[in-house]
């Protein structure tokens, strides 16, 4: 999967996110620095970059450091960060329609305007007009909480648009997300994913690869997925097959993943 390198930020967040999500019912401890380093080294990230990424994550409060009963530092995910990750809804489960964010600021409020735009982009919105961003029907509780946290609630209006009857307007909106380019990207990704998760691998190697794909899958497949109901997706769209394959490999490798995680974060 060298075509999909991980950033240091993604590498240090990955074991933490797996602990918060897939491993939440296993009673496992939160990661240690040693556990984060092991996976980061597998991803080609050096110790200096790991330290820098952790320092920035702590400053941004996306990662929180706690001390366990034995005095060891453990790295946990901030609730707001995890909520942002769960805002996505799979295409087959999305309600019809779109979500519009319309905002208004005074000319001197450029910093607040920029902060809101960055937040909307983080949640997957695309700019429709100068002060209007569009998304599919995502869960909005985390978004609304983040807007309130920035003190920007008086400037923002969220509207649900149940559907768009104008086919020309709909096609223009779909073009914002380059659906045909996305179709080709997913076909190429699937072709690379199959051999990476196949073959005879040691248990630790299989676990590290599943974690690696988890980070890539989230950043490049789930979080980057255009936010439309399934009826708007092109023919020969590989997303369901990618999700099926990765889900199957996760289920098959769950025991090895838990074993690897427990060993690295004892």
Position 48 in a domain: yes
| 207 & 127 share domain | no
Distance (Å, whole) CA 195 – CA 254: 19
Which of 133, 161, 189 is at the close of a domain? 161
Banded pLDDT at 261 (limits 50, 70, 90): very high
Position 166 in a domain: no
Q: Among 4-8, 51-55, 218-222, which stretch is predicted with the lowest mean pLDDT?
A: 218-222
Residue 143 sits in a domain whose CATH number is 3.30.70
Is the pTM above the cut of 0.85? Answer: no
Position 220 in a domain: yes
Q: Quick one: pLDDT at residue 175?
A: 84
Domain that holds residue 53: 8-83
| 12 & 79 share domain | yes
Q: Quick one: pLDDT at residue 88?
A: 58
| 33 & 79 share domain | yes
Q: Quick one: pLDDT at residue 202?
A: 95
Residue 21 sits in a domain whose CATH number is 1.10.10
| 70 & 32 share domain | yes
Q: Distances from the Cα of 103 to the Cαs of 117, 125, 144, 158, 172, in angstroms?
A: 10, 13, 13, 9, 21
Position 59 in a domain: yes
At 184-205, the pLDDT tens digits run 999 999 999 999 999 889 999 9
Closest CA to 138 of 107, 94, 100, 181: 94
Position 92 in a domain: no
| 77 & 137 share domain | no
Q: Quick one: pLDDT at residue 86?
A: 63
Banded pLDDT at 179 (limits 50, 70, 90): confident
Position 90 in a domain: no
235 has pLDDT over 60: yes
Q: What share of residues in the chain are helix, strand, coil (percent, to 5)? A: 55, 10, 30
Position 52 in a domain: yes
Distance (Å, whole) CA 131 – CA 102: 6
Which of 83, 107, 124 is at the close of a domain? 83
Position 88 in a domain: no
If one counts the domains in the chain, the total is 3
Q: Which residue has the tokens 């023919």?
A: 235
| 55 & 121 share domain | no
């Amino acid at each position: 999967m060298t075509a999909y390198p991980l950033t240091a930020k993604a590498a240090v967040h990955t074991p933490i996110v797996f602990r918060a999500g897939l491993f939440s019912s296993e009673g496992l401890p939160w990661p240690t620095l040693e556990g984060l380093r092991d996976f980061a080294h597998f991803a080609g990230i050096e110790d200096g970059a790991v330290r820098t990424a952790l320092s920035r994550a702590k400053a941004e409060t996306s990662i929180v450091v706690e001390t366990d009963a034995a005095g060891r530092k453990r790295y946990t995910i901030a609730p707001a960060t995890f909520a942002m990750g769960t805002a996505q809804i799979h295409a087959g489960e999305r309600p019809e329609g779109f979500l519009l964010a319309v905002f208004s600021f005074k000319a001197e409020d450029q910093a607040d305007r920029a902060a809101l735009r960055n937040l909307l982009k983080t949640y997957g919105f695309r700019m429709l007009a100068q002060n209007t961003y569009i998304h599919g029907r995502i869960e909005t509780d985390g978004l609304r909480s983040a807007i309130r946290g920035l003190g920007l609630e008086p400037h923002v209006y969220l509207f649900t648009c149940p559907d768009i009857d104008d086919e020309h307007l709909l096609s223009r909106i779909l073009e914002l997300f380059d659906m045909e380019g996305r179709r080709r990207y997913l076909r190429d990704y699937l072709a690379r994913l199959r051999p990476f998760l196949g073959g005879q691998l040691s248990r630790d190697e299989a676990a590290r690869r599943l974690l690696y794909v988890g980070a890539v899958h989230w950043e490049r497949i789930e979080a980057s997925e255009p936010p439309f109901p399934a009826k708007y997706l092109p023919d020969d769209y590989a997303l369901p097959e990618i999700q099926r394959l990765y889900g199957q490999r996760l289920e098959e490798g769950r025991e090895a993943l838990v074993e690897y995680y427990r060993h690295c974060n004892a």
